[in-house]
Structure 1
Amino acid sequence: MLRPIRALAAAAAALALVSACNSASKATSPGKPDSAAAANFRGVTDHSIRVGGIVSMTSAGGYSKKDTDLGARARYMRANAEGGINGRKIEYLGAEDDGQDPAKNLAAARKLVQQDKVFAVAPMSSVTFSGADFLEQEKVPTFGWGTLPSFCGPRYIYGFNGCLVPSPGGTLNQTWPEGIAALLGGARGKSVAVIANDSDAGKFGIRTFQQGFASAGFTVSYAKASVPGTAVPSDWSAYVKEILTANEGKAPDAVVSVMQTPNNIGLFTALKRAGYKGLLTDPTDYDPGLLAKDATRQALDGVHVLLQFEPFESDSPAMTQFKADVKAASGGQEVPLSMHMLTGYMSADLFVSIAQKAGKDLTVTHFQNAAQSFSDTGTLVGDRAEPKGQKDSFGCGALVQLKNGAYEVSVPFKCHPPVPFK
């Protein structure tokens, strides 16, 4: 999958709370190893495990994934309330802000390892991961959303729902194509247009989704990474004209955008004004915070959003626990839930689950050994298994539609067999 990101923040109260939590966490002095043995392993003492995060809290375009930090904090708080990881409490330092800047991403990774001496980085959530090679070289277990190539292949880097941007020989998650096929009454005879930003990430997204939709039986009538990645276009007419005539002079049955929220708003608004009546879909715009503004709500009305986790509307035990944990981390307040929040939560959850399996003698070697035979079921992302997840996605997901100011599940959470990536 691609690099799903959104530009609008959640409710102000939630953001203020996250910022306050970050400040408080940075003020906590790191603990010292309690034994010579523990001192041999970075970030591990007899009583604690030090973990940090890297998140695009800010960006030049105003986009923020700040809720990712709150989600991670919520999971770590519950783990500590339940006794920690094999008796050790998690000392979560909070997330470093990389500003969606490759240089800052690498600097954040270096700081966490060389200065803060963390055992693991969880979450890592950004559109850039220039610190990946450094973290892999330093053997730092790292967890995040596997929407970047660095989550597919390295030994110490894990996607919380697997590898979503595989290399040839890996597999493609078919949740999106199969979900769209279900909404259109099948893929046979149907066409899709796929559009992305002109960036390495966008080009890779086009390559994967073009193959995924074709494998599901669609005709891919348009597939371009042509939208500037540095600024949102003020005029979408050229893109709209190409899309609406891409299907042998006709409009495609579905337009698949793999871009950020501001781009989606501009593109979808322009398509609607041009009279497009087909299906609109993207992987980023599932956030109650987007419903706060009339213009945003109207622009995204009718759009089907891809999820690779259970929808918040689910009443499963895992979702009920997630909501309770977030509320606890928010000081008992009800805060708007977001995809970013769940990204942080599930990144932390996979780290905690593998670390528990590693046992009392926690070292990187023991952690990696535990990961090599790790599996569990019934999570918010379906059944998990490592090292499978370092090559393949876990293959599960759902679609929700923004309709009349609220999200509704349009395709229920389901796991689909992946297809080979060529």
Structure 2
Amino acid sequence: MPRPLRTIAAAITLLLVTACNSASSGGSGKGGGSGGSTSSARGVTADAIKVGGIVSMTTASGYSKKDTDLGARARYDRANAEGGVNGRRIDYLGAEDDGQDPARNLAAARKLVQRERVFAVSPMSSVTFSGADFLNGQQVPTVGWGTLPSFCGPEYLYGFNGCLVPTPGGTLNQTWPEGLATVLGGARGRSVALIAGDNDAGKFGIRTFTQGFKAAGFQVSYAKAVVPATSVPSDWSAYTKEILRSGAGGRAPDAVVSVMQTPYNIGLFTALKRAGYRGVISDPTDYDPGLLAKDATRQALDGVHVLLQFQPFESDSPAMRQFKADIRKAAGGKNPPLNMHMLTGYMSADLFLAIATKAGRDLTAESFQKAAKGFSDTGTLVGDRAEPKGQKESFGCGALVRLKNGRYEVAVPFKCYPPIPFG
């Protein structure tokens, strides 16, 4: 068969498969149900709810969020051990690896819905979410790390700690600037430099954090999304020279804030220290005891203040003790080094379970949404939660930890801060 005809035939086949899947699932995951033991919702049977995940387990830079899957599994395992959700167990299929690639992210979303026929996707954790429109259009409840605009507005998508990248008219979480102001003894007269990758997420991050730090009273001396997003630079001197001369009178800023992933941070922070920088360094990603195994990495991150938007692992709250116990059990009785990805998966699963439980026995996409619109609880590992508030703003809570002498310590305790308008 000539290549053009093969292409057309493949396209027709795909359309037919999609149509069949849509027809057999009600097209959108809607289910009638009548309060009995069964449901016509896609992925929901008399005794189970099918759930999958999408996570960047492998990336070109080596950065991995694979433990997000372990965290989700730990929470679902406990739910099943306690009787499931209104009598149904969670059939968690595990997470698809999107490789931090937009095409694979969309392919994973399509696979989970059209082939695996899941009711929900939770967790979803990646720097790309090209599958967002598809999942929302198919009415698939999706819960993940709300670091992308897709989690801020679409009806069926939820951030486990709210919307972290709001649109104009929304609000900004002030945990980071207010936390660093505490570390520095106040923001008045203090300067901060912000640096990010040259991609959409980096540019948006620079925009939001610039506004947030200015609102807290900082002078923003440098704010650029200029680091190549596809490869870690081998020479950071061009960036460090500009940063270190950005303060008043050509002096170094009081704080350098990186909105980048670990491999980039290691290179940047090492270069800053070699250049003699003695100010505060901070990022939102490097809270991971596993990073301390290598001397070079430990030295690069020593003294760095890491932003958390959940209770630190060092806390001794009942919720944190339960989290650690669940992770240990899911890891076969071992005590793996805890990291933020585990908690991302765990709390994504936890929010899904809480809303699904409220939806009742007749679980459909519609009943889930109805339950979400009036959902709220308090005292979780991410603070007080509420929907649909969380689709427009974050839950506003967080902490700062500092790596010192090979150990993390709480620098600014977990606290909830009033948000500010974003425009």
When normalised by structure 2's length, the TM-score is 0.91
- Per the alignment, residue 407 of structure 1 pairs with 408
- Per the alignment, residue 266 of structure 2 pairs with 265
Tell me how far apart the structure 2 counterparts of residues 100 and 321 of structure 1 sit (CA, whole Å): 31
Matches within 5 A, 1:20-169: 38=38, 40-169=40-169
Question: What is the deviation of 1:37?
Answer: 8.2
Tell me how far apart the structure 1 counterparts of residues 46 and 102 of structure 2 sit (CA, whole Å): 35
Question: What is the deviation of 1:61?
Answer: 2.0
Matches within 5 A, 1:171-182: 171-182=171-182
Tell me how far apart the structure 1 counterparts of residues 243 and 110 of structure 2 sit (CA, whole Å): 43
Question: What is the deviation of 1:38?
Answer: 3.7
Question: What is the deviation of 1:222?
Answer: 0.4
Tell me how far apart the structure 1 counterparts of residues 177 and 150 of structure 2 sit (CA, whole Å): 24
| Residue 281 (structure 1) aligned with residue 282 (structure 2) | yes
Superposed CA RMSD: 1.2
Question: What is the deviation of 1:412?
Answer: 0.3
Matches within 5 A, 1:361-376: 361-376=362-377
Matched residue type, 1:368: Q
Question: What is the deviation of 1:40?
Answer: 2.0
Q: String of CA shifts for 1:83-106, please: whole Å, max 9, x gaps.
A: 000000000000001011100000
Matched residue type, 2:185: G
Contact 2:44 2:119 in 1 (8 A): yes
When normalised by structure 1's length, the TM-score is 0.91
Question: What is the deviation of 1:69?
Answer: 0.2
Question: What is the deviation of 1:62?
Answer: 1.8
Q: String of CA shifts for 1:369-401, please: whole Å, max 9, x gaps.
A: 000000000000000000000001000000000
Tell me how far apart the structure 1 counterparts of residues 376 and 263 of structure 2 sit (CA, whole Å): 38
Tell me how far apart the structure 1 counterparts of residues 89 and 319 of structure 2 sit (CA, whole Å): 22
Contact 2:61 2:232 in 1 (8 A): no
Contact 2:196 2:225 in 1 (8 A): yes
Moved more, 330-339 or 302-311: 330-339
| Residue 244 (structure 1) aligned with residue 233 (structure 2) | no
Tell me how far apart the structure 2 counterparts of residues 321 and 251 of structure 1 sit (CA, whole Å): 43
Contact 2:39 2:364 in 1 (8 A): no
The count of aligned residue pairs is 389
- Per the alignment, residue 338 of structure 1 pairs with 339
- Per the alignment, residue 312 of structure 1 pairs with 313
Matched residue type, 2:275: A
> Helix, strand or coil: the match of 2:165?
coil
- Per the alignment, residue 20 of structure 2 pairs with none
Tell me how far apart the structure 2 counterparts of residues 271 and 293 of structure 1 sit (CA, whole Å): 19
Question: What is the deviation of 1:60?
Answer: 1.9
> Helix, strand or coil: the match of 1:93?
strand
Moved more, 286-295 or 35-44: 35-44
Tell me how far apart the structure 2 counterparts of residues 252 and 299 of structure 1 sit (CA, whole Å): 19
- Per the alignment, residue 192 of structure 1 pairs with 192
Q: String of CA shifts for 1:161-219, please: whole Å, max 9, x gaps.
A: 00000000000000000000000010000000000000000000000000000000000
Q: Which runs of 5+ in 1 are unaligned?
A: 1-33
Tell me how far apart the structure 2 counterparts of residues 266 and 383 of structure 1 sit (CA, whole Å): 36
Tell me how far apart the structure 2 counterparts of residues 199 and 45 of structure 1 sit (CA, whole Å): 42
Q: String of CA shifts for 1:256-314, please: whole Å, max 9, x gaps.
A: 00001111111111111111110000000000100111110001000000000000000
Give % identity: 79
- Per the alignment, residue 322 of structure 1 pairs with 323
- Per the alignment, residue 393 of structure 1 pairs with 394
Matched residue type, 2:363: L
Q: String of CA shifts for 1:294-350, please: whole Å, max 9, x gaps.
A: 110001000000000000000000000000000111111111111000000000000
Contact 2:62 2:263 in 1 (8 A): no
> Helix, strand or coil: the match of 1:104?
helix
